[in-house]
Amino acid sequence: MILELINIGDELLIGQTINTNASWIGQFLSQRGVRVSKAVTIQDEKEDILRQLEDCLSRADVVLITGGLGPTKDDITKETLCEFFGGKLEMHDETLQRITEYFESKGRPMLESNVNQAMLPNVCEILPNYNGTAPGMWFEKDDKVVVSLPGVPYEMKPLISEGVFPRLNERYQFADIYQSSIMTTGIGESFLAEKIKNWEDKLRSDELSLAYLPSPGIVRLRVTSYKGENDKEKVEQYMNTLKELVGDYYYGEENESLALVVGKLLAEQKRTIGTVESCTSGGIAAEITKIPGASSYFEGSYVTYSNRLKNEKVGVPYEVLETQGAVSQECVELMAVNGRESLGTDFCLASSGIAGPDGGTSEKPVGTVWIAVAFKEGVFSKKFMFGNDRERNTKMSVLSALNMLRLLLLGRLDN
Amino acid sequence: MILELINIGDELLIGQTINTNASWIGQFLSQRGVRVSKAVTIQDEKEDILRQLEDCLSRADVVLITGGLGPTKDDITKETLCEFFGGKLEMHDETLQRITEYFESKGRPMLESNVNQAMLPNVCEILPNYNGTAPGMWFEKDDKVVVSLPGVPYEMKPLISEGVFPRLNERYQFADIYQSSIMTTGIGESFLAEKIKNWEDKLRSDELSLAYLPSPGIVRLRVTSYKGENDKEKVEQYMNTLKELVGDYYYGEENESLALVVGKLLAEQKRTIGTVESCTSGGIAAEITKIPGASSYFEGSYVTYSNRLKNEKVGVPYEVLETQGAVSQECVELMAVNGRESLGTDFCLASSGIAGPDGGTSEKPVGTVWIAVAFKEGVFSKKFMFGNDRERNTKMSVLSALNMLRLLLLGRLDN
């Protein structure tokens, strides 16, 4: 079964709206063993819609369409599909009643243009929309299926999950898929690939597939079986071997963030954390507290952006700031050690670096960042070299700091 | 000139990555008078790439391609394009040198797979990539242009703005459009629309168009003329009237962030700022320092997430914390006033609120946030009621704090 997606909307092509519908549908379906093999975004133009539909139907068994069903004049999908399938628009009483009730429930008047939304092609099955005015439309022709859905995400999503997917599954009985992922950090995609090469070859020869899913500082590794739960044990055995191979770069399951994993470790070990931040400027603290309940282990921070505050708040001597500079091992270790004491926490993370775009030297180029973590018995620090992008440098610094704390909490910081 | 876009990547089709490249390119080009008439996402499959390229070239004069240029085996765009244009892969010395320098600057070893990235088709112009390893490739055939770019956003964007667009503009001399925007904050889209209704009607009757471009806490208003610089004076007259109508909700030009506007005011007035943050947990500090050069006005912060640190670091008496609570006017004003003194800054912003999802009461529901700003002559504070979403509450709190400081710096805080 081949499935293609058409998203209709000028606002998508001019970048006013990011096409989150395509990614949501892709994720929803791929997790259920269905692949979107192509996704096309086109304008609200009759000729474009007709041409694209013909093109998709030349390959696909199922074409999903979103958008262009609003009450305004520039939305022409319904009329175009009606013509394509050789039908006529007729008043659909059930839909009219639903639209009427919808406006009554909101206490808003119903316009003529909304009444017209109940005029529907007489050659499709109507999929009721409980969250808006435009229903879904299910067309069939020559054993192929075309489904048209509204583009508003919270109207489209339940129509897919409760209307479209169950019908497709009944028709095609999709292969049951089983997936398992692990999260890695501190290692790039190509180094990871080198490290697990033999394992990956064996996996593939065993009819399983592997995806590398990278985002800044993180690579997620996902194994897929198309035999569903039957393969669960086999897949999990591979995952266990993978975790061993990846070693300390492996930090969590599925979509877990580093902040979540570190937070769980802190809560389990009943330890507290604080931060003293320069280049990350509160970013580590903000990341830690994205996790609800972080107050049980996170106490607070100093942001010591200026040298004066590095001196006044966490006692970095001016001599160090002048001779070694703020971006130095000595400075960041003092920030961590003194910050830990002053904040009264079990651990303290500290950052000092050159985020850019200015301030770099040949000795300390933009992207040079020192991270330290202080603990009862001492302090550990490490120099990183990121790149030229200020935003990315900050993000990488935050992740590297959290990863350093994770390794410390696991007793593996030397690795 | 017809331009179509092809985004290559399994991760886009399975929804692992949201296709922000398509929207960024759409926005960048539409602001310069070029329309993306179709955007297609396809898999990392040779046959799919070839078929799609043929299809796009049957309509388009220019095809932009992103993605599939990584060092791993599943990235096959380069080989496929080389074959399509009848070339051979040859070592490109300049690119090899750039890649070598890139790895040297990061202090990381270079792998065989990275060396291979310098093997490039001998039938294209190479567009150097200063932010990564895979360069852009500019192909021409039968008076049509095909450009292939890496999919990593911070590599792709400068390649478009500095490499591809100037070349396209030289070739096609795009219709001149003139656009002007203002940024507003603290007012919703529909209230704004009511406020400027008459102005908008007049604008449209004058052959100008208006777009409302909303993001959390911010609405950007953009006026477009398709007569280019000829309309500049007319458009700017409308913009001036618009600024008066919008009043204090208007905060900046084009795509300026609140942090940038506030930073410029602080720099102009030679004043300094610090923060004392609870619910935003360093988020205000992190937002302020997104602006390069923020060190000239930003000194630093306390993140006082725990009540203990609110007491120890900024002297909020336990009595206040127990009787009024941490989320109270008295607490947040003490945080701001004492923080200002302790940090030694001209101004100090403070936040305390219930970000959620837990911790709300009927009296103080989730989303209740107090923001204060302290200055030489006193302190101003305000209660906000946001919603149930933790991430959005934090973001809205950060923006509201910066907006409060902006109004203070402009001498308009009472409004």
Q: Which residue on chain B is closest to A44 by alpha carbon? A: B37
pLDDT at A175: 78
Q: What is the token pair recorded at B206?
A: 């004058």
Q: Do A303 and B305 touch (CB under 8 A)?
A: no
Closest C-alpha to A21, from B64, B12, B26, B56: B12
pLDDT at residue B302 greater than cutoff 90:
yes
On whether the CB atoms of residues B142 and B153 are closer than 8 A, the answer is no
pLDDT at residue A6 greater than cutoff 80:
yes
- Measuring CA to CA, how many Å separate A147 from each of A39, A175, B18? 14, 21, 23
Q: Do B281 and A288 touch (CB under 8 A)?
A: yes
Q: Which residue has the higher pLDDT, B381 or A189?
A: B381
On whether the CB atoms of residues A206 and A223 are closer than 8 A, the answer is no
- Measuring CA to CA, how many Å separate B273 from each of A85, A315, B265? 64, 21, 11
pLDDT at B413: 87
pLDDT at A73: 67
pLDDT at residue B23 greater than cutoff 70:
yes
Rounded mean pLDDT, A127-145: 93
Fold assignment, B3-172: Molybdenum Cofactor Biosythetic Enzyme; Chain A (3.40.980)
Beta strand ranges found along B206-320 (DSSP E): 209-215, 218-225, 250-253, 273-277, 298-304
Rounded mean pLDDT, B162-183: 91
Query: Closest partner residue to A303 among B20, B41, B301, by Cβ?
Result: B301
Q: Which residue on chain A is closest to B306 by alpha carbon? A: A299
Query: Closest partner residue to A41 among B38, B306, B344, by Cβ?
Result: B38
pLDDT at residue A378 greater than cutoff 80:
yes
pLDDT at B331: 98
pLDDT at A288: 98
pLDDT at B110: 87
On whether the CB atoms of residues A279 and A354 are closer than 8 A, the answer is yes
Q: Do B22 and A12 touch (CB under 8 A)?
A: yes
pLDDT at residue A278 greater than cutoff 60:
yes
pLDDT at residue B74 greater than cutoff 80:
no
Q: Which residue on chain B is closest to A365 by alpha carbon? A: B105
Query: pLDDT digits over A288-321, tens only?
Result: 999 999 999 999 999 999 999 999 999 999 999 9
Task: Quote the distance between the C-alpha of residue B20 and its chain's center.
Answer: 11
Query: pLDDT digits over B184-198, tens only?
Result: 999 888 788 889 999
DSSP string, B253-281: ETT--HHHHHHHHHHHTT--EEEEESTTT
Task: Return d(Cα A270, Cα A266) in angstroms, integer.
Answer: 6
Look up residue A228 and give its DSSP letter.
G
Q: Do A23 and B38 touch (CB under 8 A)?
A: no
Which residue's structure tokens are 């070349």? B167
Q: What is the token pair recorded at A183?
A: 């999260």
Distance from the Cα of A94 to chain B's closest Cα (Å) equals 31
Q: Supply the mean pLDDT for chain A.
A: 94
pLDDT band for B112, please (50, 70, 90 cuts).
confident
Q: Which residues in chain B have their CB less than 8 angstroms from residue A220's CB?
A: 16
Rounded mean pLDDT, B39-66: 96
Q: What is the token pair recorded at A269?
A: 């070990």
Task: Return d(Cα B355, Cα B365) in angstroms, integer.
Answer: 10
Burial A98-109 (b: 16+ CB within 10 A, else e): bbeebeeeeeee
Closest C-alpha to B310, from B273, B347, B345, B337: B337
N residues, chain A? 415
A178-253 and A258-409: identical CATH topology: no
pLDDT at residue A108 greater than cutoff 80:
no
Distance from the Cα of A400 to chain B's closest Cα (Å) equals 15
pLDDT at A107: 77
pLDDT at residue A415 greater than cutoff 60:
no
Q: Supply the mean pLDDT for chain B.
A: 94
pLDDT at residue A410 greater than cutoff 70:
yes
Rounded mean pLDDT, A72-86: 88
Q: Which residues in chain A have their CB less than 8 angstroms from residue B281's CB?
A: 282, 285-286, 288-289, 298, 301
Helix axes A307-314, A329-343, angle to 10 degrees: 40
Rounded mean pLDDT, B256-282: 98
pLDDT at B113: 86
- CATH class of the structural domain A258-409: alpha beta
Query: pLDDT digits over A196-239, tens only?
Result: 999 999 999 999 999 888 888 999 999 999 888 899 999 999 99
Count each helix (H run) and each strand (E run) in chain B, helices first: 17, 17
Q: Which residue has the higher pLDDT, A24 or B108?
A: A24
Sign of the Cα pseudo-torsion (A195, A198, A201, A207, in order): negative
Closest C-alpha to B196, from B233, B221, B232: B221
Q: Which residue has the higher pLDDT, A17 or B252?
A: B252
On whether the CB atoms of residues A92 and A137 are closer than 8 A, the answer is no
Which residue's structure tokens are 């694209």? A52
For B178-253, CATH number out of 3.40.50.300, 3.40.190.10, 3.30.70.2860, 2.30.40.10 equals 3.30.70.2860
Compute the radius of gyration of chain B from its Cα atoms. 26
Q: Which residues in chain A have their CB less than 8 angstroms from residue B35's CB?
A: 13-14
pLDDT at A1: 93
Look up residue B359 and give its DSSP letter.
-
Mutation for B interface: A303, A342, A362, most B CBs within 10 A: A303
Pairing of strands A298-304, A273-277: parallel
Rounded mean pLDDT, B141-167: 96
Mutation for B interface: A6, A279, A281, most B CBs within 10 A: A281
Percent of chain A exceeding pLDDT 70 equals 99
Q: Which residues in chain A have their CB less than 8 angstroms from residue B66's CB?
A: none
Q: Which residues in chain B have their CB less than 8 angstroms from residue A280's CB?
A: 286
The full set of domain ranges for chain B reads 3-172, 178-253, 258-409
pLDDT band for B55, please (50, 70, 90 cuts).
very high
Classify residue A50 by burial, with Cβ atoms within 10 Å: 0-12, 13-18, 19+: middle
pLDDT band for A245, please (50, 70, 90 cuts).
very high
pLDDT at residue B57 greater than cutoff 70:
yes
pLDDT at A272: 98
Query: pLDDT digits over B309-332, tens only?
Result: 999 999 999 999 999 999 999 999
